[in-house]
Structure 1
Protein backbone atom coordinates (compact mmCIF):
# COMPACT_ATOMS: atom_id res chain seq x y z
CA UNK A 1 0.00 0.00 0.00
CA UNK A 2 1.29 3.50 -0.78
CA UNK A 3 1.92 5.79 2.17
CA UNK A 4 -1.23 7.58 3.39
CA UNK A 5 -0.18 8.78 6.84
CA UNK A 6 -3.14 7.14 8.56
CA UNK A 7 -1.94 5.57 11.83
CA UNK A 8 -3.70 4.57 15.04
CA UNK A 9 -2.55 4.16 18.63
CA UNK A 10 -1.39 0.58 19.08
CA UNK A 11 -1.39 0.00 15.34
CA UNK A 12 1.44 -0.48 12.90
CA UNK A 13 3.52 2.50 11.80
CA UNK A 14 3.42 3.77 8.23
CA UNK A 15 6.63 4.06 6.25
CA UNK A 16 7.36 6.49 3.42
CA UNK A 17 10.49 5.74 1.41
CA UNK A 18 12.11 8.69 -0.33
CA UNK A 19 15.24 8.62 -2.44
CA UNK A 20 17.54 9.68 0.42
CA UNK A 21 15.33 9.58 3.51
CA UNK A 22 12.92 7.09 5.09
CA UNK A 23 10.05 8.55 7.14
CA UNK A 24 8.28 6.33 9.67
CA UNK A 25 5.12 7.68 11.32
CA UNK A 26 3.74 6.13 14.51
CA UNK A 27 0.81 7.08 16.76
CA UNK A 28 1.23 6.82 20.55
CA UNK A 29 -1.30 7.11 23.35
CA UNK A 30 -3.05 8.23 25.36
CA UNK A 31 -3.50 11.51 23.43
CA UNK A 32 -3.05 10.09 19.91
CA UNK A 33 0.21 11.89 19.25
CA UNK A 34 2.30 11.34 16.14
CA UNK A 35 6.02 10.70 16.33
CA UNK A 36 8.24 10.58 13.25
CA UNK A 37 11.47 8.62 12.89
CA UNK A 38 13.65 9.82 10.01
CA UNK A 39 16.51 7.69 8.68
CA UNK A 40 19.18 8.68 6.17
CA UNK A 41 19.52 5.93 3.59
CA UNK A 42 23.20 6.61 2.95
CA UNK A 43 24.45 6.68 6.54
CA UNK A 44 21.73 5.00 8.61
CA UNK A 45 21.62 8.05 10.91
CA UNK A 46 18.25 8.48 12.63
CA UNK A 47 16.45 11.50 14.12
CA UNK A 48 13.15 11.40 16.01
CA UNK A 49 10.61 14.22 15.87
CA UNK A 50 8.67 14.34 19.18
CA UNK A 51 9.31 11.58 21.72
CA UNK A 52 5.67 11.98 22.63
CA UNK A 53 4.89 8.91 24.75
CA UNK A 54 5.19 5.11 24.96
CA UNK A 55 8.98 5.07 25.23
CA UNK A 56 9.23 1.27 24.81
CA UNK A 57 7.45 1.44 21.45
CA UNK A 58 9.63 4.32 20.28
CA UNK A 59 12.80 2.53 21.36
CA UNK A 60 11.68 -0.62 19.55
CA UNK A 61 11.08 1.48 16.44
CA UNK A 62 14.53 3.09 16.74
CA UNK A 63 16.13 -0.32 17.13
CA UNK A 64 19.86 -1.11 17.19
CA UNK A 65 20.72 1.60 14.64
CA UNK A 66 20.62 4.15 17.45
CA UNK A 67 19.46 7.75 17.45
CA UNK A 68 21.42 10.93 16.74
CA UNK A 69 18.87 13.43 18.03
CA UNK A 70 15.33 14.09 19.17
CA UNK A 71 13.75 17.36 18.03
CA UNK A 72 10.78 18.46 20.18
CA UNK A 73 8.40 20.66 18.20
CA UNK A 74 7.07 22.50 21.25
CA UNK A 75 6.78 22.54 25.04
CA UNK A 76 3.39 20.85 25.59
CA UNK A 77 3.82 17.75 27.73
CA UNK A 78 2.02 15.33 25.42
CA UNK A 79 4.89 15.80 22.96
CA UNK A 80 7.73 14.91 25.34
CA UNK A 81 6.55 12.32 27.90
CA UNK A 82 9.02 9.76 26.50
CA UNK A 83 11.84 12.25 25.89
CA UNK A 84 13.89 11.62 29.02
CA UNK A 85 13.82 7.83 28.66
CA UNK A 86 14.58 7.89 24.94
CA UNK A 87 17.52 10.26 25.41
CA UNK A 88 18.88 8.33 28.42
CA UNK A 89 18.66 5.01 26.56
CA UNK A 90 20.07 6.14 23.21
CA UNK A 91 22.41 8.98 24.18
CA UNK A 92 20.72 11.15 21.55
CA UNK A 93 20.94 14.92 21.57
CA UNK A 94 17.73 16.68 22.66
CA UNK A 95 16.94 19.79 20.59
CA UNK A 96 14.24 22.43 20.98
CA UNK A 97 13.68 26.13 20.39
CA UNK A 98 15.13 28.28 23.20
CA UNK A 99 11.73 29.85 23.93
CA UNK A 100 10.34 26.42 24.91
CA UNK A 101 13.49 24.64 26.10
CA UNK A 102 13.11 25.50 29.79
CA UNK A 103 9.81 23.57 29.92
CA UNK A 104 11.36 20.28 28.74
CA UNK A 105 12.93 17.68 31.05
CA UNK A 106 16.18 17.46 29.08
CA UNK A 107 17.64 19.72 26.38
CA UNK A 108 21.23 19.46 25.17
CA UNK A 109 21.04 22.06 22.40
CA UNK A 110 18.72 24.65 20.90
CA UNK A 111 17.60 25.38 17.35
CA UNK A 112 16.16 28.54 15.84
CA UNK A 113 14.83 29.95 12.59
CA UNK A 114 16.91 28.88 9.62
CA UNK A 115 19.07 26.37 11.48
CA UNK A 116 19.71 23.02 9.80
CA UNK A 117 19.34 19.76 11.70
CA UNK A 118 21.39 16.98 10.07
CA UNK A 119 19.94 13.53 9.48
CA UNK A 120 23.06 11.94 8.07
CA UNK A 121 23.43 13.39 4.58
CA UNK A 122 19.95 14.99 4.72
CA UNK A 123 19.02 18.30 6.34
CA UNK A 124 15.93 19.62 8.14
CA UNK A 125 15.38 23.38 8.06
CA UNK A 126 13.97 24.85 11.27
CA UNK A 127 11.00 27.21 10.87
CA UNK A 128 9.91 29.12 14.00
CA UNK A 129 6.11 29.52 14.25
CA UNK A 130 5.00 31.63 17.22
CA UNK A 131 1.52 31.24 18.67
CA UNK A 132 0.65 27.70 19.73
CA UNK A 133 3.62 28.15 22.06
CA UNK A 134 6.40 30.76 21.98
CA UNK A 135 8.95 28.22 20.76
CA UNK A 136 6.99 26.03 18.35
CA UNK A 137 8.94 24.89 15.32
CA UNK A 138 8.27 23.14 12.03
CA UNK A 139 10.93 21.12 10.25
CA UNK A 140 11.27 21.19 6.46
CA UNK A 141 12.96 18.56 4.32
CA UNK A 142 13.41 19.53 0.69
CA UNK A 143 13.74 16.26 -1.21
CA UNK A 144 16.15 16.83 -4.11
CA UNK A 145 14.37 14.06 -6.00
CA UNK A 146 10.78 14.99 -5.15
CA UNK A 147 8.43 17.20 -3.15
CA UNK A 148 9.02 19.07 0.09
CA UNK A 149 8.11 17.39 3.37
CA UNK A 150 7.09 19.52 6.36
CA UNK A 151 6.71 18.39 9.99
CA UNK A 152 4.45 20.95 11.64
CA UNK A 153 3.98 19.83 15.25
CA UNK A 154 0.78 21.42 16.54
CA UNK A 155 1.10 24.63 14.49
CA UNK A 156 -0.71 23.40 11.37
CA UNK A 157 -3.30 20.67 10.87
CA UNK A 158 -5.70 19.71 8.10
CA UNK A 159 -8.49 22.23 8.71
CA UNK A 160 -6.63 24.93 10.58
CA UNK A 161 -3.77 26.20 12.67
CA UNK A 162 -3.03 24.99 16.18
CA UNK A 163 -4.99 25.90 19.28
CA UNK A 164 -4.22 29.36 20.69
CA UNK A 165 -6.72 29.05 23.57
CA UNK A 166 -8.79 32.05 22.47
CA UNK A 167 -5.85 34.46 22.72
CA UNK A 168 -6.27 36.88 19.81
CA UNK A 169 -2.64 37.98 19.79
CA UNK A 170 -1.36 34.39 19.76
CA UNK A 171 -3.76 33.51 16.95
CA UNK A 172 -2.72 36.55 14.90
CA UNK A 173 0.93 35.61 15.36
CA UNK A 174 0.38 31.97 14.42
CA UNK A 175 -1.81 32.55 11.37
CA UNK A 176 0.65 35.20 10.13
CA UNK A 177 3.64 32.89 10.57
CA UNK A 178 1.87 29.91 9.01
CA UNK A 179 0.69 31.96 6.05
CA UNK A 180 3.94 33.82 5.38
CA UNK A 181 6.55 31.22 6.36
CA UNK A 182 4.76 28.15 5.03
CA UNK A 183 2.03 28.88 2.47
CA UNK A 184 3.80 31.86 0.86
CA UNK A 185 7.14 30.02 0.63
CA UNK A 186 6.25 26.45 -0.27
CA UNK A 187 4.39 24.92 -3.23
CA UNK A 188 1.03 23.19 -3.19
CA UNK A 189 2.50 19.69 -3.42
CA UNK A 190 4.32 20.15 -0.08
CA UNK A 191 3.21 17.28 2.15
CA UNK A 192 2.86 18.11 5.83
CA UNK A 193 2.90 15.84 8.85
CA UNK A 194 1.15 17.20 11.98
CA UNK A 195 1.55 16.35 15.65
CA UNK A 196 -1.82 14.57 15.77
CA UNK A 197 -4.01 12.91 13.18
CA UNK A 198 -3.78 12.64 9.41
CA UNK A 199 -1.43 14.37 7.02
CA UNK A 200 -2.35 16.79 4.24
CA UNK A 201 -0.77 18.99 1.58
CA UNK A 202 -0.44 22.75 1.52
CA UNK A 203 -2.42 22.78 -1.72
CA UNK A 204 -5.38 21.03 -0.10
CA UNK A 205 -5.44 23.57 2.75
CA UNK A 206 -4.44 26.76 0.95
CA UNK A 207 -7.95 27.81 -0.19
CA UNK A 208 -9.14 27.72 3.44
CA UNK A 209 -6.51 30.02 4.94
CA UNK A 210 -8.63 33.20 4.52
CA UNK A 211 -11.52 31.39 6.23
CA UNK A 212 -9.28 30.38 9.14
CA UNK A 213 -8.14 33.99 9.52
CA UNK A 214 -11.72 35.29 9.41
CA UNK A 215 -13.06 32.82 11.99
CA UNK A 216 -10.22 33.59 14.41
CA UNK A 217 -9.14 30.05 15.30
Structure 2
Protein backbone atom coordinates (compact mmCIF):
# COMPACT_ATOMS: atom_id res chain seq x y z
CA UNK A 1 0.00 0.00 0.00
CA UNK A 2 1.61 3.26 -1.07
CA UNK A 3 1.40 6.51 0.89
CA UNK A 4 -1.30 7.71 -1.50
CA UNK A 5 -3.41 4.61 -0.80
CA UNK A 6 -2.90 4.65 2.97
CA UNK A 7 -5.66 6.60 4.70
CA UNK A 8 -5.26 5.62 8.35
CA UNK A 9 -8.97 4.80 8.55
CA UNK A 10 -9.44 1.46 10.31
CA UNK A 11 -12.39 -0.12 12.11
CA UNK A 12 -12.66 -2.57 14.99
CA UNK A 13 -12.83 -6.06 13.51
CA UNK A 14 -11.57 -4.83 10.16
CA UNK A 15 -8.20 -5.31 8.48
CA UNK A 16 -5.06 -3.40 9.28
CA UNK A 17 -3.85 -0.65 6.99
CA UNK A 18 -0.17 -0.60 6.09
CA UNK A 19 1.84 2.56 5.52
CA UNK A 20 4.90 1.53 3.54
CA UNK A 21 7.92 3.79 3.94
CA UNK A 22 11.38 3.15 2.54
CA UNK A 23 12.86 1.89 5.81
CA UNK A 24 9.75 1.20 7.88
CA UNK A 25 6.40 -0.52 7.51
CA UNK A 26 3.66 0.81 9.79
CA UNK A 27 0.59 -1.39 10.28
CA UNK A 28 -2.38 0.25 11.98
CA UNK A 29 -5.22 -1.77 13.51
CA UNK A 30 -8.23 -0.80 15.64
CA UNK A 31 -9.30 -2.89 18.64
CA UNK A 32 -12.38 -2.77 20.85
CA UNK A 33 -14.19 -1.96 22.98
CA UNK A 34 -12.92 1.65 23.00
CA UNK A 35 -11.74 1.85 19.39
CA UNK A 36 -8.05 2.04 20.29
CA UNK A 37 -5.36 2.14 17.66
CA UNK A 38 -2.33 -0.13 17.87
CA UNK A 39 0.65 0.23 15.56
CA UNK A 40 3.12 -2.44 14.50
CA UNK A 41 6.40 -1.07 13.19
CA UNK A 42 8.69 -3.28 11.12
CA UNK A 43 12.21 -2.36 10.06
CA UNK A 44 12.45 -3.21 6.38
CA UNK A 45 16.19 -3.86 6.61
CA UNK A 46 16.26 -6.28 9.54
CA UNK A 47 12.66 -7.49 9.99
CA UNK A 48 12.69 -6.45 13.65
CA UNK A 49 9.27 -5.40 14.94
CA UNK A 50 7.95 -3.08 17.66
CA UNK A 51 4.35 -2.65 18.85
CA UNK A 52 2.94 0.66 20.06
CA UNK A 53 0.12 0.17 22.60
CA UNK A 54 -1.03 -3.40 23.25
CA UNK A 55 -4.44 -1.90 23.86
CA UNK A 56 -6.77 -4.93 23.76
CA UNK A 57 -7.66 -8.05 21.76
CA UNK A 58 -4.37 -9.87 22.22
CA UNK A 59 -5.39 -12.38 19.55
CA UNK A 60 -5.76 -9.57 17.00
CA UNK A 61 -2.40 -8.08 17.89
CA UNK A 62 -0.56 -11.39 17.91
CA UNK A 63 -2.02 -12.27 14.52
CA UNK A 64 -0.75 -8.92 13.23
CA UNK A 65 2.69 -9.60 14.71
CA UNK A 66 2.85 -13.02 13.08
CA UNK A 67 5.55 -15.65 13.40
CA UNK A 68 8.42 -13.17 13.40
CA UNK A 69 7.53 -11.92 16.88
CA UNK A 70 8.27 -8.51 18.34
CA UNK A 71 11.29 -7.26 20.21
CA UNK A 72 9.58 -4.36 21.99
CA UNK A 73 6.24 -2.98 23.15
CA UNK A 74 5.91 0.74 23.88
CA UNK A 75 2.95 1.90 26.00
CA UNK A 76 2.23 5.55 25.30
CA UNK A 77 0.61 6.20 28.69
CA UNK A 78 -0.87 4.55 31.76
CA UNK A 79 -4.61 4.65 30.96
CA UNK A 80 -6.05 1.15 31.08
CA UNK A 81 -7.48 1.09 27.58
CA UNK A 82 -3.92 1.22 26.22
CA UNK A 83 -2.52 -1.85 28.01
CA UNK A 84 -5.31 -4.44 28.36
CA UNK A 85 -3.45 -6.91 26.12
CA UNK A 86 0.04 -6.04 27.31
CA UNK A 87 0.52 -8.93 29.73
CA UNK A 88 -0.67 -11.53 27.21
CA UNK A 89 1.37 -10.08 24.35
CA UNK A 90 4.54 -9.93 26.46
CA UNK A 91 3.99 -13.48 27.72
CA UNK A 92 3.59 -14.75 24.15
CA UNK A 93 6.52 -12.85 22.64
CA UNK A 94 9.01 -12.11 25.42
CA UNK A 95 9.08 -8.50 24.22
CA UNK A 96 10.89 -5.79 26.18
CA UNK A 97 8.52 -3.17 27.59
CA UNK A 98 8.89 0.62 27.40
CA UNK A 99 6.80 3.42 28.94
CA UNK A 100 7.21 7.00 30.11
CA UNK A 101 8.99 7.03 33.46
CA UNK A 102 6.26 8.94 35.30
CA UNK A 103 3.55 6.52 34.14
CA UNK A 104 5.23 3.20 34.92
CA UNK A 105 3.56 2.94 38.32
CA UNK A 106 0.13 2.97 36.67
CA UNK A 107 0.85 0.08 34.30
CA UNK A 108 0.43 -3.35 35.96
CA UNK A 109 2.97 -5.02 33.67
CA UNK A 110 6.56 -4.24 34.71
CA UNK A 111 8.32 -1.67 32.52
CA UNK A 112 11.76 -2.92 31.48
CA UNK A 113 12.90 0.47 30.17
CA UNK A 114 11.48 3.69 31.69
CA UNK A 115 11.58 6.39 29.02
CA UNK A 116 12.52 10.07 29.39
CA UNK A 117 12.21 12.95 26.94
CA UNK A 118 14.72 12.63 24.12
CA UNK A 119 15.44 8.94 24.65
CA UNK A 120 15.90 6.89 21.48
CA UNK A 121 14.06 3.58 21.00
CA UNK A 122 15.30 1.43 18.14
CA UNK A 123 13.51 -1.05 15.94
CA UNK A 124 16.15 -2.60 13.75
CA UNK A 125 17.97 0.26 12.04
CA UNK A 126 15.13 2.71 12.62
CA UNK A 127 15.32 5.22 15.47
CA UNK A 128 12.31 6.64 17.30
CA UNK A 129 12.76 9.65 19.58
CA UNK A 130 10.53 9.87 22.64
CA UNK A 131 8.92 13.21 23.52
CA UNK A 132 7.50 13.62 27.01
CA UNK A 133 4.12 15.41 26.90
CA UNK A 134 2.71 16.20 30.35
CA UNK A 135 -0.99 16.76 30.96
CA UNK A 136 -3.12 13.90 29.67
CA UNK A 137 -1.12 11.80 32.13
CA UNK A 138 2.12 12.67 33.94
CA UNK A 139 4.23 10.35 31.81
CA UNK A 140 2.64 10.36 28.36
CA UNK A 141 5.11 9.96 25.51
CA UNK A 142 4.98 10.46 21.77
CA UNK A 143 7.38 8.72 19.40
CA UNK A 144 8.90 10.64 16.48
CA UNK A 145 10.34 8.89 13.44
CA UNK A 146 12.30 11.50 11.50
CA UNK A 147 12.33 9.63 8.22
CA UNK A 148 15.62 10.35 6.40
CA UNK A 149 13.87 9.45 3.13
CA UNK A 150 10.82 11.69 3.60
CA UNK A 151 8.80 13.68 6.13
CA UNK A 152 8.57 12.84 9.86
CA UNK A 153 5.97 10.56 11.41
CA UNK A 154 4.79 10.89 15.03
CA UNK A 155 2.80 8.49 17.20
CA UNK A 156 1.01 10.71 19.71
CA UNK A 157 -0.95 8.34 21.96
CA UNK A 158 -3.78 10.38 23.48
CA UNK A 159 -1.88 13.70 23.48
CA UNK A 160 -2.79 14.95 20.01
CA UNK A 161 -5.77 14.14 17.77
CA UNK A 162 -7.45 15.68 14.75
CA UNK A 163 -9.10 18.73 16.29
CA UNK A 164 -7.20 19.13 19.53
CA UNK A 165 -4.98 17.88 22.28
CA UNK A 166 -5.87 15.04 24.64
CA UNK A 167 -8.42 15.16 27.43
CA UNK A 168 -7.30 16.96 30.59
CA UNK A 169 -10.67 16.62 32.40
CA UNK A 170 -11.26 20.37 32.49
CA UNK A 171 -8.13 20.99 34.58
CA UNK A 172 -6.71 24.33 33.40
CA UNK A 173 -3.23 23.59 34.72
CA UNK A 174 -3.04 20.21 33.00
CA UNK A 175 -4.33 21.69 29.74
CA UNK A 176 -1.77 24.49 29.86
CA UNK A 177 0.99 21.95 30.40
CA UNK A 178 -0.16 19.63 27.63
CA UNK A 179 -0.66 22.26 24.96
CA UNK A 180 2.67 23.88 25.83
CA UNK A 181 4.50 20.57 25.49
CA UNK A 182 2.68 19.65 22.28
CA UNK A 183 3.57 23.02 20.78
CA UNK A 184 7.21 23.09 21.89
CA UNK A 185 8.06 19.43 21.33
CA UNK A 186 5.86 18.52 18.36
CA UNK A 187 4.61 21.53 16.39
CA UNK A 188 7.67 23.78 16.67
CA UNK A 189 10.41 21.32 15.63
CA UNK A 190 8.42 19.36 13.03
CA UNK A 191 7.14 20.46 9.60
CA UNK A 192 3.58 20.61 8.35
CA UNK A 193 4.05 17.38 6.37
CA UNK A 194 4.53 15.40 9.59
CA UNK A 195 2.06 12.51 9.69
CA UNK A 196 0.27 12.06 13.03
CA UNK A 197 -0.86 8.64 14.26
CA UNK A 198 -3.13 9.06 17.33
CA UNK A 199 -4.25 6.57 19.96
CA UNK A 200 -7.86 6.63 18.72
CA UNK A 201 -9.51 7.52 15.44
CA UNK A 202 -8.17 8.84 12.18
CA UNK A 203 -4.71 10.13 11.34
CA UNK A 204 -3.92 13.74 10.56
CA UNK A 205 -0.93 15.96 9.75
CA UNK A 206 0.59 18.84 11.66
CA UNK A 207 -0.25 21.09 8.73
CA UNK A 208 -3.94 20.27 9.11
CA UNK A 209 -3.90 21.06 12.82
CA UNK A 210 -1.45 23.98 13.10
CA UNK A 211 -3.91 26.72 11.99
CA UNK A 212 -6.19 25.80 14.91
CA UNK A 213 -3.70 26.13 17.77
CA UNK A 214 -4.95 29.57 18.80
CA UNK A 215 -8.52 28.27 18.78
CA UNK A 216 -7.51 25.41 21.09
CA UNK A 217 -5.86 27.86 23.49
CA UNK A 218 -8.96 30.05 23.56
CA UNK A 219 -11.42 27.24 24.21
CA UNK A 220 -9.18 25.63 26.86
CA UNK A 221 -9.39 22.03 25.66
Common fold by TM > 0.5: yes
Alignment of 1:157-196 (within 5 A): 157-196=161-200
8 A Cα contact 1:72 1:96, kept in partner: yes
Match of 1:18 among 3, 18, 21: 21
Q: Which runs of 5+ in 1 are unaligned?
A: none
Alignment of 1:58-97 (within 5 A): 58-97=61-100
Whole-Å Cα distance in 1 between the matches of residues 185 and 120 of structure 2? Answer: 16
Whole-Å Cα distance in 2 between the matches of residues 49 and 14 of structure 1? Answer: 15
What TM-score, normalized by structure 1, do the two folds share? Answer: 0.99
**Worse-matched range after superposition: 53-62 or 102-111:** 102-111
Secondary structure in 1 matching 2:45:
coil
What TM-score, normalized by structure 2, do the two folds share? Answer: 0.97
Secondary structure in 2 matching 1:102:
helix
Whole-Å Cα distance in 2 between the matches of residues 28 and 169 of structure 1? Answer: 32
Secondary structure in 1 matching 2:193:
coil
Secondary structure in 1 matching 2:37:
strand
Give every structure 1 segment of 4 or more consecutive aligned residues whose post-TM-superposition deviation is greater than 2 Å. Answer: none
- The yes-or-no answer on 1:197 pairing with 2:221 is no
Whole-Å Cα distance in 1 between the matches of residues 181 and 101 of structure 2? Answer: 18
